[in-house]
Amino acid sequence: MTARNPIGVHALVWVGGTRPDEIAEAVRRTRAAGFDLLELSLHEMEVLDVADTRRALQDAGLQVACSRGLAFDADVSSDDPEVVARGAAILQDSLEVVAGLGGSVLTGALYSALGKYGRPLTSAGRANVVAVLRDLAREAAGRDVTLGLEICNRYETNVINTARDALRLADDIGEDNVMIHLDTYHMNIEESDFVTPVLEVGDRLGYVHIGENHRGYLGSGSIDFPAFFHALATIGFDGPITFESFSSAVVSPTLSNDLAVWRSLWTDGDDLARRAHQFIETHLAAAASISA
């Protein structure tokens, strides 16, 4: 890899929400653990003090990325125009928050509700996704924000489950500031391996989530991280790599339930994060040495 990847951590490793006191704690602990970037979920953006958070991030020298999915009553993949309109408005509000924070990435399941669907995506629903995200991408371009299509597993969306699904959707949206977001946790469920999707996405890869198959400590599960990091090195990926882990030790009233975070996979977020940072650094260095 020719440049050092920014290494990030999801705020839910530290805190359950985005109130001012929680943001202050997340920023402090992110910096103390040596990360470059803090990812904030916008599921409760109404309590987020945007100006104060921006100052806190800048003072700490941290980059920021924002992520979110939608609710079923504001699902842009719905066939119902009123439901789609609510989702489109939430995405526009989310873009405003990202720009206000000084961020350049809005990613996640921007294309659907985050949850188990009872039927396949309809052609009308997919057309709604394309139209909404095309409009959002054009607005985002004027704010120097890139949209990420995070590929999620079949139990969390019915819109895109594989890299090929995401590439087709991005092609149909047709805007240059729409990138692909890979997540090893979801890849473990849906992809055949950890190399082919990376190579297929290539230079359209813009953001990466690193997580174990059980969402706990990195290296304690079954994911083939050496193969994945080697694939990243092969395509010269130099974008953010963000550690994502969830445990019932830190609970978000909304997102924890959406993601079925029922078990306590860890209790010490500081130890978890320090080890994750070292794990990512080690694998980046090993992959770079092999590719050199």
The pLDDT assigned to 2 comes to 44
d(CA 176, CA 179): 8
Q: Kindly tell me the sign of the dihedral angle through the C-alpha atoms of 191, 218, 246, 6.
A: negative
The tally of domains found in the chain comes to 1
Tokens of 174: 């047709």
Question: Can you give the length of the chain in residues?
Answer: 292
Is the separation of the CB atoms in 110 and 91 below 8 Å?
yes
Is the separation of the CB atoms in 1 and 274 below 8 Å?
no
Q: Is 139 buried (19+), middle (13-18) or exposed (0-12) by CB count in 10 A?
A: middle
The pLDDT assigned to 250 comes to 77
The pLDDT assigned to 248 comes to 76
- The CATH number given to whatever domain includes residue 84 is 3.20.20.150
Residues 65-71 have a mean pLDDT of 97
Within 8 A by CB and 6+ apart from 215, the residues are 185, 244, 245, 246, 247, 261, 265
Q: Which residue has the tokens 């260095």?
A: 285
d(CA 84, CA 160): 17
Residue range of the domain that includes 102? 7-291
Tokens of 169: 């959707």
Averaged confidence pLDDT in the chain: 95
Residues 168-176 have a mean pLDDT of 98
* 2 is a domain residue: no
pTM of the model: 0.95
Confidence of residue 270 (pLDDT cuts 50, 70, 90): very high
Q: Taking Cα atoms as reference points, which of 31, 40, 104, 96 lies closest to residue 62?
A: 31
Residue 242 pLDDT > 80, yes or no? yes
Is the separation of the CB atoms in 76 and 70 below 8 Å?
yes
d(CA 33, CA 7): 11
d(CA 278, CA 270): 12
Residues 55-65 have a mean pLDDT of 98
Is the separation of the CB atoms in 108 and 67 below 8 Å?
yes
Express each pLDDT in 203-240 by its tens digit. 999 999 999 999 999 999 999 999 999 999 999 999 99
Is the separation of the CB atoms in 149 and 184 below 8 Å?
no
**Amino acid (one-letter) located at 186:** H
* 38 is a domain residue: yes
Express each pLDDT in 120-150 by its tens digit. 999 999 999 999 999 999 999 999 999 999 9
Is 150 assigned a catalytic role? Answer: yes
* Range from 24-28, 158-162, 262-266, 278-282 carrying the lowest mean pLDDT: 262-266
The pLDDT assigned to 3 comes to 62
* 1 is a domain residue: no
The pLDDT assigned to 178 comes to 98
* 122 is a domain residue: yes
Residues 84-113 have a mean pLDDT of 98
For Cα atoms 210, 103, 151, give the angle at the middle one, nearest 5 degrees: 35
Residue 1 pLDDT > 90, yes or no? no
Is 191 assigned a catalytic role? Answer: no
Question: Nearest 5°: phi and psi at 125?
Answer: -65, -40
The pLDDT assigned to 137 comes to 98
The pLDDT assigned to 260 comes to 79
The catalytically annotated residue of 39, 44, 150, 212 is 150
Confidence of residue 96 (pLDDT cuts 50, 70, 90): very high
The catalytically annotated residue of 44, 191, 212, 244 is 244
Q: Kindly tell me the sign of the dihedral angle through the C-alpha atoms of 178, 198, 154, 210.
A: negative
